[in-house]
């Protein structure tokens, strides 16, 4: 039977960046405790294969699986566990109706909020939309360049800038013989409002910055394609092109936004979130310019909701390519984890890993069930942690995130990850993230209640699209 030895409390890893590799902290003092079978919540625990030492002069054949949970965060706001960008996404989703999104809470009270049977854009309307959009982007980019608040400087030259691209598009329309209109009321009003916020209310300004750029990168592109099909003979404007990998550009900006928000108080974060509805209002007024005068009299708000819905769904799984559906966890038939003896014989050396497990806010308030974890590569290398749970310390409580440090056989590339639950309480994991100094980060969304007594998870080892199906951070 494996023996257990707790060591010093681990360093919190919650504020580490999403991308990149992180070396887990080394453990210090070692003392002996009783073999209860539970992993300590505040201490690293080493599992020793009989016959092998697990201290400083540990033989290379020894298999060590150490699990630690770092500081637990409680009373989270929805989305907080994934960073402030996820909080902003969650608030925006609530502004949709239940018909538009399962997370939506908005009630349809006005005729313009109902579905539109069809819509027909006009070139004149589209030009007004482009001109007003350019004014807004000119304003945003000028504010960021001048940086009246130091945090704005973080967002210079992100690759999302649109002003120069819009200038090229308007010049093209001019060459086709169209008259370029002056900015209209929606764009002018929004521009002035952004200037006011930039000087006096940086949290609110960041809310608008986020919504404007990210919505255009997803829902805005959908609108652009539909307009091109209708009135531009499928011409793709520069407004909808980016230099480089757009998904990586967006991730870089997400990281910057999350970093900036780390220094905000809870009140400042809430103030930023409260600005979301006003951002919807101003962007919607500009988007409605696309439509012809006849269609503008109809129920236009649905188009805005559709575009924004596509955007907010797209950032839920930010690293999945648009052409690839995310994998779904499955019941893994016939799986048996490697025993400690087999792992010891197979492993030429051991490697450290960090596993972060987020418990869904839809889970039971707590669980006393046994939770096991196994992951590995396609070459027979496997890491197995028999017990991650610890009822005494509140592991896997609802709306929480738990971090474990695990040492086990070195894997080349994680392509499968399974979990096993045994008990009657039930448990719903949200996501599971695994990273280490020698592997690429793997981030998988479960978001389902684990069935009792069976291994459940992901196996993409034989898939040709492993890299696209797994959410992998470089």
**Per-position DSSP letters for 282-312, written without gaps between them:** HHHHHHGGGB-HHHHTS--HHHHHHHHHHHH
Q: Are the CB atoms for 324 and 468 separated by under 8 Å? A: yes
DSSP 8-state assignment for residue 443: E
pLDDT at 119 over 90: no
pLDDT, tens only, 57-82: 333 323 334 443 334 445 567 778 88
- The span from the CA of 160 to the CA of 457, in Å, is 36
Cα-only R_g, the chain: 26
6-68+329-473 classified as CATH 3.30.565.10 = no
pLDDT at 183 over 80: yes
Residue 275: its pLDDT value, please? 93
- The span from the CA of 386 to the CA of 44, in Å, is 14
pLDDT at 294 over 50: no
Average pLDDT over residues 383-409: 88
pLDDT band, very low/low/confident/very high, at 175 (cuts 50, 70, 90):
very high
CA max distance for the chain: 85
Q: Are the CB atoms for 339 and 400 separated by under 8 Å? A: no
- The span from the CA of 147 to the CA of 139, in Å, is 12
pLDDT, tens only, 410-437: 888 899 999 999 999 999 999 999 998 8
pLDDT at 295 over 50: no
Residue 128: its pLDDT value, please? 94
Q: Are the CB atoms for 281 and 300 separated by under 8 Å? A: no
- Could you tell me the fold of the domain covering 80-314? Heme Oxygenase; Chain A (1.20.910)
- The span from the CA of 341 to the CA of 370, in Å, is 22
- For residues 284 and 15, which has the higher predicted lDDT (pLDDT)? 284
pLDDT at 279 over 50: yes
Q: Which two tokens stand for residue 82?
A: 């994934």
Q: Rank 5-19, 59-73, 81-95, 349-363 by mean pLDDT and report only the highest.
A: 349-363
Average pLDDT over residues 111-119: 54
Q: Which percentage of the chain shows pLDDT scores above 70?
A: 66
pLDDT, tens only, 297-323: 444 445 555 555 655 555 544 443 333
Average pLDDT over residues 10-27: 35
pLDDT at 161 over 80: yes
Q: Which two tokens stand for residue 272?
A: 């930023």
Where are the domains positioned within the chain? 6-68+329-473, 80-314
Rounded to 5 degrees, φ, ψ at 398 are -55, 140
The dihedral region occupied by 198, where left means phi > 0, alpha psi between -120 and 50, and beta the remainder, is alpha
The dihedral region occupied by 457, where left means phi > 0, alpha psi between -120 and 50, and beta the remainder, is left
- For residues 334 and 101, which has the higher predicted lDDT (pLDDT)? 334
């Amino acid at each position: 039977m494996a023996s257990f030895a707790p060591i010093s409390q681990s360093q919190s890893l919650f504020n580490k960046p999403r991308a990149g590799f992180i070396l887990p902290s080394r453990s210090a003092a070692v003392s002996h405790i009783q073999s209860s079978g539970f992993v300590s919540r505040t201490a690293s625990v080493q599992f020793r294969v009989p016959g092998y030492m697990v201290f400083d002069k540990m033989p290379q054949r020894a298999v060590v699986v150490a699990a630690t949970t770092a500081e637990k965060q409680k009373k989270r706001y929805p989305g907080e566990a994934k960073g402030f960008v996820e909080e902003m996404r969650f608030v925006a989703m609530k502004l949709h109706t239940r018909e538009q999104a399962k997370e939506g809470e908005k009630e349809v009270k006005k005729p313009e909020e109902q579905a539109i049977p069809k819509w027909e854009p006009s070139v004149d309307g589209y030009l007004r939309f482009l001109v007003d959009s350019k004014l807004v982007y000119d304003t945003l980019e000028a504010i960021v360049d001048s940086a009246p608040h130091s945090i704005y400087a973080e967002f210079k030259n992100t690759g999302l800038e649109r002003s120069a691209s819009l200038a090229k598009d308007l010049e093209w329309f001019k060459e086709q013989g169209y008259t370029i209109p002056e900015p209209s009321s929606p764009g002018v009003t929004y521009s002035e409002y952004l200037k006011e916020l930039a000087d006096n209310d940086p949290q609110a300004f960041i809310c608008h910055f986020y919504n404007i750029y990210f919505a255009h990168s997803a829902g805005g592109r959908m609108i652009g394609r539909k307009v091109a099909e209708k009135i531009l003979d499928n011409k793709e404007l520069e407004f909808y092109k980016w230099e480089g990998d757009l998904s990586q550009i967006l991730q870089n900006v997400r990281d910057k936004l999350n970093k900036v928000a780390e220094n905000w108080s809870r009140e400042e974060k809430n103030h930023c979130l409260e600005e979301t509805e006003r951002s919807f209002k101003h962007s919607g007024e500009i988007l409605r310019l696309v439509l012809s005068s006849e269609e503008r009299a109809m129920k236009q708000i649905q188009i805005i909701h559709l575009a924004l819905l596509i955007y907010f769904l797209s950032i839920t799984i930010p690293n999945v390519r648009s052409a690839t559906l995310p994998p779904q966890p499955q019941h893994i038939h016939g799986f048996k984890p490697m025993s400690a003896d087999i792992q010891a014989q197979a492993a030429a050396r051991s490697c450290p890993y960090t596993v972060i497990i987020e418990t869904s806010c839809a889970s039971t308030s707590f669980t006393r069930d046994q939770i096991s974890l196994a992951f590995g590569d396609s070459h027979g290398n496997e890491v197995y942690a028999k017990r991650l749970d610890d009822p005494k310390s509140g592991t896997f409580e609802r709306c929480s995130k738990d971090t474990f440090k695990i040492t086990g056989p070195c894997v080349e590339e994680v392509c499968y990850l399974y979990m096993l639950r045994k008990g009657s309480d039930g448990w719903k994991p949200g996501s599971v993230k695994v990273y280490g100094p020698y592997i690429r980060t793997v981030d998988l969304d479960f978001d389902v209640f684990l069935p009792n007594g069976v291994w459940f998870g992901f196996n993409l080892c034989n898939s040709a699209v492993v890299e696209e199906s797994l959410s992998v951070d470089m």
